[in-house]
Amino acid sequence: GGPCAVIAPVQAFLLKRLFTSEKSTWRDCPEEEQKNLLCHTLCDILEMACSDNSESYCLATWIRGKTTEETASISESPAESSRREEQPCKMYFCDKDHCFLINLQMRIFFPELKDAVWDQHSAWTNRFGVLLFLYSVILTKGIENIKNEIEDASEPLIDPVYGHGSQSLINLLLTGHAVSNVWDGDRECSGMKLLGIHKQATVGFLTLMESLRYCKVGSYLKSPKFPIWILGSETHLTVFFAKDMALVAPEAPSEQARRVFQTYDPEDNGFIPDTLLEDVMKALDLVSDPEYVNLMKTKLDPEGLGIILLGPFLQEFFPEQDSRVSESFTVYHYNGLKQSNYNEKVMYVEGTAVVMGFEEPMLQTDDTPVKRCLQTKWPYIELLWTTDRSPSLN
C-alpha cells in the first residue's frame, strides 16, 4: 500500500503518453517501446514538478560498490561539468530484512533531462527505482518549495507507521504541487489560508473518502484533461481510465458556476450568505449592478433567510437546456497488487460503464467500493465488468 503513491501516478501518466501516441493497439507494446514510454513518463512528471523556469532537474542515482570518494571523483569533460553538478551523499534504504548503505548521487541536469533519464533506465526498473524516482521528484521540486506548499511542514510525505503516501505526495506527482487539499483554489478558514488545486489536472483523482463525506474533490481533479483517474481507498491507489475523450469535454457553464459558487462555500453547506451573491455574480461575469443583485436576492431568497442556495442559483442563471441521456463507454481498471488480481496476475480489468440521468429507472448492478468511488463524479453510474468479480480498490 505504500509504493502505490508513486507507482499509480506513473502508471496513469504512462497511459496518457500511450494514448496520445499513434499506436493502433495500446495493449501491444514491444519491449523497447515500453522503455521509451516509461522514460517519457518519468520526464513528464519531473518537468511538471520543476518549480521555476530554470529547467534544472535533479536525478537521484546510485552506483553499487563504489565508495563515496570514488563516486565524487568520477572524471568528466569540461562540457559535462558545465551542464550538471554531482553531489554525493550516503543514504540508508531498508527492507524487512536488511538495511543497505548506498552511495547516492544527486545530479543536477539542465536541458539534457531526457538523455539522463534514458541513461538511468536500469536504475528505475531495479530494486530501488521507486525510491530513486521519488527523491528525484522531491529534489527537482525543491524541499523548501514543498514545505511552502504543504499545509503542515512537519507532516511527512510518507506515513512513518504504515508507509502510505500522503495527499501532498499524491498531489505533487499528479499536479507538480505538494498542496494538502483536493478542492479547487485556495480557501480561508479561521484566518488560515488553505491551499488547493489551481488548474485543471492532466490526470484526475477520485477518492472513496468523499463517498464517506470526509472530503470533497474539486472539479480540477474530477474533470482532468484526459479520461484517466487515480482512485483512492483508505490504504491504496489504483487507476481507472477510458479512451473516450468526450468524458473530459470542456467545462460546461453550469459546472463552472458550481465550482465558483463552492469557492465561496468552503464548508460545502450548499448555500452562501446573500452578502456574497454580488461577488459570485461578478466572478461569473454576470450582470452585477446593485439594483439587479438586490432583485436576485429577493427572488432567490423569498423567505428572507439571508442565504442563497446552490440549486436555485444554478436553475436561475444556468438552466439545463438538454435533458440528460444515458451514455455508455468502455472502461479499464488497474490494480498493481498481485493479491488483488484474479489468479494473482496483474492485468487491466475491462468493463462497461453506463451513466444514467436521475429521472431514469435505476439499473442496480452492485455496490462495490469502486462504484461508490466513481459515484462521486457520476452519481448514477452502473458498471458491468467482463470478469466474474469486480476489481478491488485495495
| Residues taking part in catalysis | 4, 236
User: What 8-state DSSP symbol labels residue 116?
Assistant: H
Q: What backbone phi and psi angles, to 5 degrees, belong to 116?
A: -65, -40
Angle subtended at Cα 331 by Cα 323 and Cα 33, rounded to the nearest 5 degrees = 135
SS3 233: coil
Q: Strand ranges (DSSP E) for the chain?
A: 57-62, 84-94, 99-109, 187-189, 192-194, 204-207, 228-232, 237-242, 271-273, 307-309, 327-334, 349-355, 381-385
| 187 contact partners, CB below 8 Å, separation of at least 6 | 181, 193, 194, 196, 263, 266
CA distances from 386 to 196, 226, 349 (A): 37, 23, 7
Looking at residue 258, its amino acid is R
Q: What backbone phi and psi angles, to 5 degrees, belong to 339?
A: -70, -15
| 27 contact partners, CB below 8 Å, separation of at least 6 | 348
User: What 8-state DSSP symbol labels residue 250?
Assistant: P
User: What 8-state DSSP symbol labels residue 65?
Assistant: T
CA distances from 380 to 264, 324, 363, 391 (A): 27, 11, 9, 19
Using the structure block, give the residue that is written with the C-alpha cell 468524458.
Answer: 247
CB 13 within 8 A of CB 173: no
